[in-house]
Amino acid sequence: MKKTLTNIALSAMFIAIGIVLPFFTGQIQQIGNMLLPMHIPVLLCGFICGWQYGAAVGFILPLMRSALFTMPVMFPNAVSMAFELATYGFLAGFLFTHAKWKCMKSLYRCLIITMLGGRVVWGVVHAILLGMGDNAFTLTAFLTSAFLNAIPGIILQLVLIPAIMLVLDKTHLVPMKRKGVNENGEKCC
């Protein structure tokens, strides 16, 4: 019961951070698209609270932010982001929870898979929402939006998320390592 209440409180905190963080990009959509400020609290929620909370926070956050501040625009951006961020929260929590070792190498592996999975889901949902007509979402548009324009945000996530998790591990708030040897004689990371 205490763990559930803690996860609910942390999830609320991550939603609040996700609502406030984009203000640091000055509400300028191009900068937000490059730095991806809402992705950070969702990824952290998935890693810290687990897949259920990460997926819920990821789905709620862009829709709530769009309803409150009209940024991101509800259709198609906030809707496709809701599925993308829900995928981030789900994959981060699920993969890290089921990882053999809770170490930096495992964290990076989970983070990279999560980031790729979320971007693919975003692309598929965006393509469905925009349809196949004159405004069709092309492969070039997907690659540009999901990867090329997002390189600063991807780098920020690859640096910031492991750094925060390392600090949380050092302070014993979120233990990451399982020391020892598994049944096959393999050492941790």
Indicate which CATH number applies to the domain containing 14.
1.10.1760
**Is the per-residue pLDDT at 23 higher than 80?**
yes
Alpha helices (H) along the chain: 2-20, 29-35, 39-49, 51-69, 79-97, 104-130, 139-143, 151-170
pLDDT digits (tens, 9 = 90+) for 77-106: 899 999 999 999 999 999 999 998 888 999
**CA gap 68, 178 in Å, rounded:** 42
Classify residue 178: in a domain, yes or no. no
**Closest Cα to residue 87, out of 108, 62, 68, 64?**
62
Q: Provide the mean pLDDT of the chain.
A: 87
pLDDT at residue 76, as a whole number = 86
Classify residue 177: in a domain, yes or no. no
Residue type, 148: L
Classify residue 188: in a domain, yes or no. no
Classify residue 40: in a domain, yes or no. yes
Domain extent at residue 116: 2-170
pLDDT digits (tens, 9 = 90+) for 121-162: 988 888 888 875 566 677 777 777 767 778 888 999 999 999
What token pair was written down for 113? 């898979």
**Is the per-residue pLDDT at 36 higher than 70?**
yes
Is the Cβ–Cβ distance between 179 and 188 less than 8 Å? yes
pTM for this structure?
Answer: 0.89
Region 54-61 average pLDDT = 98
Helix (H, G, I), strand (E, B) or coil at 181: strand
Label residue 64 by pLDDT band (50, 70, 90): very high
Classify residue 189: in a domain, yes or no. no
Classify residue 184: in a domain, yes or no. no
Classify residue 179: in a domain, yes or no. no
Domain count, the chain: 1
Label residue 188 by pLDDT band (50, 70, 90): low
**Is the per-residue pLDDT at 71 higher than 60?**
yes
Residue type, 80: S
Region 1-18 average pLDDT = 94
Classify residue 122: in a domain, yes or no. yes
Region 42-64 average pLDDT = 97
Radius of gyration for the chain, computed over Cα atoms and rounded to the nearest angstrom: 17
pLDDT at residue 121, as a whole number = 93
- Tell me how far apart the 2 most distant CA atoms of the chain are, in Å: 58
CB atoms within 10 A of CB 184: 6
Residue 129 φ/ψ region, left for φ over 0, alpha for ψ in the -120 to 50 degree band, beta for the rest? alpha
